[in-house]
Amino acid sequence: MFQNLEKRLNNGEGPSQRKDNGGHNGANTGGTYGRLTKIEFPKCDGEDVLSWLYRVNNFDMDNIVEDEQKIRLVSMHIRFESVFEDPIMELKNLKHTTSVQVYQDSFEALLNKVNLDDSCAISLFIGGLKEEIAYAVRMFKPTNLTEVFSLSKLQEASNSVTKGKHSASFGPTKNTVFGPTNQRGESSRTRIVPVQSTTVTPNRPSKKLTQQELEEKRAKNLCFYCDKKYSPGHKCSGQMYSLEIVAYEEEGNNEGHVKKQVLHILVDCGSTHNFLDLLAAKRMGCNLSKMCPLQVSVANGQVMSSVFQCKNFKWTIHGQVFETDVMILRLGGCEMVLGIQWMGVEISNMALCVCPATLMQKTGSSTKPNSNIQTLLQDFSTVFDTPKELPPIRSHDHIIPLVSNTPPISVRPYKHPPNQKDAIELMVKELLEAGVIRYSQSSFSSPIFMVKKKDGTWRMCVDYRMLNKYTVKDKFPIPIIEELLDELYGAKVFSKLDLRSGYHEIRMNPGDIHKTAFRTHEGHYEFLVMPFGLTNAPFTFQSLMNTVFKPYLKKFVLVFFDDILVYSKVKNTGII
């Protein structure tokens, strides 16, 4: 029946009879319609399904077939080329090879055949993009396909612009002349560029030069290729090389050897353990043993897991044999990383010299100390003793001038956990025994806070920020380090002295002691010496040091706060 109906439709004929709701014939008493314009029903071959649905929706079937026959009529015009096609697999295997637009069209054509949510479709599309585009698009975390398509096209355009800017700098041009600059310093004819594989003769060996070697050849007016004197019109004789300029040399990289195999080693003080690359371990036939999984955080923030280790791994560097335990991990830029675990064992016996990368064996003998220095230290041994009493009263006792009409500064104390309270009590006890602080009844009060040191202990600090806010600032000149270094011209012998708790060597002015008061959880105290944290403390200290060393400044002594440098041109002159 449907074949006859389709044939009549294609010939432009209507149905032989169409009944109205009342069961009577239509207005055409002849029982048939007149000649109609030939209109073909849209056919679907599996491509561009959305366009086909649009054409079907706009095709007038009401005057052709009954409602219950429309679905069957539409199904007759759906044809697929392949019965065994798998659009999901095709989407997974689809890759971006030409342009993003072509890739998008192919992706959408396959996506119309399946029913996927946006998250899966986005993942499949980004997974098929080129790496230089996929990483950039993934960084923006797009939420729909429209954003993915737009970001991909923008990144593609950005990459094309970037390549266009740098493409002209690779490969020699016809007017390129390799060699050092001429006597007038003109370098417009000289261009040293990396030689790409497209411009290198396949059978021509490559010659590498570091930037330092390049500058040395330029200074000696030598040809970069044949090492002979360079002059305009110079032609190299003998073997020709493809020149490759190494921009820099990686510091900390060394070459080790395991039997006859080369091992690229990175000495990294930021690494806590020693690691060996998995592929390098397999290549060298290492005996691996399982261990408790260890989570390793690498430089880029990624967390990796190490489950194998190699016990007593041996290698040689410059003839020196080393042995240590290493963990197996997939490394990127090198084949072995030596961290603090190895340095802590070897640093007592070996010293690494960074440039050039060689190893020096330390000798057992030590340098005999100078007898004059030993005599000097013995004569003034009391200078190095721990102070047991307050410093003398001087004209440079510290004062705290406040802005007029400033009320007493009192700040509410901070809260401290129990472990910090124990440390506070111990430190306050030591300061009381040393006579540095005393109990106070002052109307001033500043809070304290604890700072953790690198060794895990605590340091007690007084927060004088509110007091400093209302303190009149001192304008005493502070030395400039660059100017101090100019005074060291010609000096060869240096002695450095560092004062212990230098600020505590200056007394507080009796009228300002009450302003240094601070509060803890167990009491109220005030400083008898100059505490750390006051805004004018550095100026007071530098003023005292300049006064004490005034006869010797810029002659053989430099002073920068609590650091004292004694310098001289002759060894014995530096011993006073």
Map out the domains of the chain as residue ranges: 242-248+260-343, 386-568
- Determine phi and psi for 469, rounding to 5 degrees: -60, -35
Question: Please, are residues 362 and 320 in contact by the beta-carbon 8 Å criterion?
Answer: no
Tell me whether the omega of the peptide bond preceding residue 205 falls within 30 degrees of 0, making it cis. Answer: no
CB burial string 405-418: b at 16+ within 10 A, e below: eeeebebebeebee
Cα-Cα-Cα-Cα torsion 395, 396, 398, 399, nearest 10 degrees, comes to: 60
Question: Please, are residues 265 and 255 in contact by the beta-carbon 8 Å criterion?
Answer: yes
Per-residue model confidence (pLDDT) at position 344: 62
| Residue in 280, 344, 270, 267 with CA at minimum distance from that of residue 308 | 280
Question: Please, are residues 263 and 280 in contact by the beta-carbon 8 Å criterion?
Answer: yes
CB neighbourhood size of 519 (10 A)? 21
| Residue in 282, 212, 289 with CA at minimum distance from that of residue 248 | 212
Question: Please, are residues 529 and 436 in contact by the beta-carbon 8 Å criterion?
Answer: yes
| Residue in 424, 382, 395 with CA at minimum distance from that of residue 519 | 424
Q: Quick one: 385 exposed, middle or buried, by C-beta within 10 A (0-12, 13-18, 19+)? A: exposed
Residue with tokens 């706009």: 58
Contact residues for 463 (Cβ-Cβ < 8 A; gap 6+):
411, 414, 446, 447, 448, 449, 533
Tokens (6 digits) for 471: 């303190």
| Residue in 512, 543, 539 with CA at minimum distance from that of residue 527 | 512
pLDDT one digit per residue (tens) for the chain, 576 residues: 445 555 555 555 544 444 444 444 444 444 444 455 566 777 776 666 777 777 777 776 666 777 777 777 777 777 655 545 677 888 888 888 888 898 888 888 888 878 888 888 888 888 889 888 888 888 888 888 888 898 888 888 888 887 765 444 444 443 433 344 443 344 333 333 343 333 444 455 666 677 667 777 777 888 877 777 877 777 777 666 666 655 444 444 567 788 778 888 887 777 788 888 888 888 888 888 888 888 888 766 678 888 888 888 888 887 788 888 888 888 866 788 888 777 665 544 443 333 333 344 444 444 556 677 777 777 777 777 777 778 888 888 899 999 999 999 999 999 888 888 989 999 999 889 888 899 999 999 999 999 888 778 888 999 999 999 999 998 888 888 888 888 888 888 888 887 777 778 889 999 999 999 999 998 999 999 999 889 998 899 888 888 888 888 888 888 888 788 888 887 666 555
Residues 517, 438: Cα–Cα separation, whole Å: 9
Architecture of the domain made up of 242-248+260-343: Beta Barrel (2.40)
Q: Tell me how far CA of residue 86 lies from CA of 105, 114, 120, in angstroms.
A: 18, 9, 16
Tokens (6 digits) for 60: 């007038």
What does the radius of gyration of the chain's CA atoms come to, in whole angstroms?
Answer: 43
Tell me how many degrees the CA angle 571-573-575 measures, rounded to the nearest 5.
85
DSSP structural state of residue 244: E
Question: Please, are residues 506 and 397 in contact by the beta-carbon 8 Å criterion?
Answer: yes
Residues 29, 182: Cα–Cα separation, whole Å: 107
SS3 186: coil
Interaxial angle between packed helices 118-128 and 131-139, expressed in degrees from 0 to 180 and rounded to the nearest 10: 140
CB neighbourhood size of 276 (10 A)? 29
H or E element that contains 258: strand 253-258
| Residue in 436, 565, 447 with CA at minimum distance from that of residue 505 | 436
386-568 CATH fold: HIV Type 1 Reverse Transcriptase; Chain A, domain 1 (3.10.10)
Q: Quick one: 561 exposed, middle or buried, by C-beta within 10 A (0-12, 13-18, 19+)? A: middle
Helices (H) and strands (E) in the chain, counts: 16, 19
Interaxial angle between packed helices 145-166 and 100-111, expressed in degrees from 0 to 180 and rounded to the nearest 10: 160
Residues 459, 450: Cα–Cα separation, whole Å: 6
**Is the C-alpha dihedral spanning 284, 285, 286, 291 positive or negative?**
positive
Per-residue model confidence (pLDDT) at position 363: 43
| Residue in 521, 528, 526 with CA at minimum distance from that of residue 506 | 528
* The model's pTM: 0.38
CB neighbourhood size of 206 (10 A)? 10
Per-residue model confidence (pLDDT) at position 113: 78
DSSP structural state of residue 414: P
H or E element that contains 425: helix 418-434
Q: Tell me how far CA of residue 329 lies from CA of 252, 307, 345, in angstroms.
A: 20, 8, 22
Per-residue model confidence (pLDDT) at position 468: 92
Q: Tell me how far CA of residue 553 lies from CA of 417, 559, 562, in angstroms.
A: 48, 8, 14
